[in-house]
Amino acid sequence: VGAVGTSVLTALSVLSGYGFTWLTAIGESTSHGSRLSVTSMIGTPVGEVAAWVGGLRAGDRAESLVHLAGLALAAWLCVLLLLRRVVSADQVLLRCGLAMVAVAVLGPVFHPWYLLPGLALVAVGGAGVRTTTAMVWTTLVLAVLVYMAYLLTMGVFLQKPGDRNQAPQNQALAI
C-alpha cells in the first residue's frame, strides 16, 4: 500500500508541473503560526512581554517555545493514546481521531478543516451514542461552514443580482 501511495503521489507531483515544491509549502505553513491556534493565542502575548523585556529576538523565541510546548503536549497525548490497551477496533479509530484532534488543536497553525478527519474518526470510533451523534453533527456543520467560507473567499456570494452573467474573480468552481 505504501509503495502504491508513494508512486501515485510521485506521479501526480511530476505530472502536475509543480514537482515537489508542495513539500516546502508544508514546511512554510508552520513557520509563522496562525492567530486561530491555541498556542499562538498563548504565545503571542508571551512573545510580546518577552520582546518588551528582552528585545525582539527574545519575543520570537518565546513564541516559538510556546508552539514547541504545544507540539510536545500533542505528541505526549498521542503516545498516551497509543500505549493504552486496545480492546476493540472501534477504540483504535477513536484514539486515532483523538490524536488527530490533539495535533490540530495544539499545533502552531490551525484551520477549521484540520478538525474534520479527526472528528469523523471520533464519530465512527464508537464513543457512545450521544458522542457519536454530536461528532457527526459537528463534522457536518463544520464541513458546511468550511465550504461556505471557501465560497465567500472566492466571491461567489458577493455578486450583485444584476451581475449574474459575469463570473466572480478567482472563482474556481462553477455553481
What pLDDT, in 10s, does the model give residues 96-131?
989 999 999 998 888 777 888 888 888 887 667 887
What is residue 170's predicted lDDT score, i.e. its pLDDT? 47
Query: In whole angstroms, what is the distance from residue 34 CA to residue 31 CA?
Result: 9
Whether 126 and 132 have beta carbons less than 8 Å apart is answered as yes
- Summarised one tens digit per residue, pLDDT across range 127-159 is 678 877 887 888 888 888 877 777 776 665 555
Query: In whole angstroms, what is the distance from residue 32 CA to residue 41 CA?
Result: 13
With H, G, I as helix, E, B as strand and everything else as coil, classify residue 129. Answer: helix
User: Which residue type does 46 have?
Assistant: V
Tell me what percent of the chain is helix, strand and coil, each rounded to the nearest 5: 75, 0, 25
Whether 158 and 141 have beta carbons less than 8 Å apart is answered as no
Closest C-alpha to 63, from 78, 87, 42: 42
Query: In whole angstroms, what is the distance from residue 170 CA to residue 20 CA?
Result: 25
Whether 107 and 70 have beta carbons less than 8 Å apart is answered as yes
What is residue 138's predicted lDDT score, i.e. its pLDDT? 82
- Summarised one tens digit per residue, pLDDT across range 36-89 is 788 888 888 888 888 888 888 888 898 889 989 999 999 999 999 989 887 888
Determine how many CB atoms are found less than 10 A away from the CB of residue 39: 27
